[in-house]
């Protein structure tokens, strides 16, 4: 599958059904890294439902982060959910790195590619938001590096890991996107 965008160390491309085995194996290997913040699909059935939701209809988009030095191996993923067009032109980000790629800056580079794609003619969004649990320091650092600003705090915002969790709301608009 051709890449949508390429940087020095990563490229992004859409999810495909053929990625299921590699994705779920990486998700299982990253369970300790992701919990309690993130629960990506770890079985073939979960992956199929997840990838189908990301590829059907205009309300979601999913991007696999592929490491170029690793022969295109899936290093992580970034999703844009709850996409609203019209006057709002907004979406909510989700993302995760896999254990073999964590801490190498690959997701930071990929997030820049996704922001360019989302704010460009392909998606034509104006605003992206990331809702992050306050204790998730790595996720907060990621969006700060990308130029997001803290907008507020939402108590009991999302149901995660069996309970309603507080979240910080981080956002960026097309005009706030740092020049690259």
pLDDT digits (tens, 9 = 90+) for 107-138: 999 999 999 999 999 999 999 999 999 999 99
User: Could you tell me the two tokens for 21?
Assistant: 């085995």
Pairing of strands 90-97, 127-132: parallel
Q: Contact, 119 vs 174, CB < 8 A?
A: yes
pLDDT in tens, 41-95: 999 999 999 999 988 878 999 999 999 999 999 999 999 999 999 999 999 999 9
Residue 150 has pLDDT above 70, yes or no: yes
Q: What tokens were used for 61?
A: 């988009």
**pLDDT higher than 90, residue 158:** no
Sequence-ordered strand ranges (E) for 17-148 = 61-67, 73-84, 90-97, 127-132
pLDDT value at position 176? 93
Residue 54's φ and ψ, nearest 5 degrees, are -75, -20
CATH number for 117: 3.40.630.30
Domain of residue 116, residue span: 5-176
Asked whether the whole model's pTM tops 0.75, one would answer yes
Residue 134, token pair as written in the block = 């306050």
Whether the predicted pLDDT of 179 surpasses 90: no
24-38, 84-98, 137-151: least confident range: 24-38
pLDDT of 46 reads 95
Confidence of residue 37 (pLDDT cuts 50, 70, 90): confident
For the chain, how many structural domains are there in total? 1
**Is residue 98 scored above 90 in pLDDT?**
yes
Per the CB < 8 A criterion, the answer to whether 91 and 107 are in contact is no
Report how far residue 149's alpha carbon sits from residue 129's, in angstroms, rounded to the nearest whole number.
Answer: 9
How large is the average pLDDT for residues 13-25? 95
Cα(first)–Cα(last) distance of the chain, in Å? 26
Question: Residue with structure tokens 């940087």?
Answer: 7
Going by C-alpha positions, the residue among 116, 90, 123, 120 that lies closest to residue 11 is 116
d(CA 162, CA 116): 34
């Amino acid at each position: 599958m051709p890449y949508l965008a390429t940087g020095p160390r990563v490229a992004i491309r859409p999810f495909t059904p053929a990625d299921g085995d590699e994705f779920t194996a990486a998700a299982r290997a990253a369970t300790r890294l992701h919990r309690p913040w993130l629960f990506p699909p770890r079985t073939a059935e979960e992956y199929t439902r997840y990838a189908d939701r990301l590829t059907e209809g205009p309300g979601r988009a999913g991007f696999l982060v592929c490491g170029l030095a690793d022969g295109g191996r899936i290093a992580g993923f970034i999703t844009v959910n709850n996409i609203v067009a019209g006057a709002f032109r907004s979406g909510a980000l989700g993302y995760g790195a896999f254990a073999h790629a964590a801490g190498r800056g690959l997701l930071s580079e990929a997030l820049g590619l996704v922001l360019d794609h989302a704010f460009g003619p392909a998606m034509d969004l104006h605003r992206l938001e990331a809702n992050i649990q306050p204790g998730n320091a790595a996720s907060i650092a990621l969006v700060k590096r990308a130029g997001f600003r803290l907008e507020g705090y939402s108590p009991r915002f999302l149901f995660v890991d069996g309970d309603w969790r507080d979240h910080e709301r981080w956002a960026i608009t097309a005009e706030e996107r740092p020049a690259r």
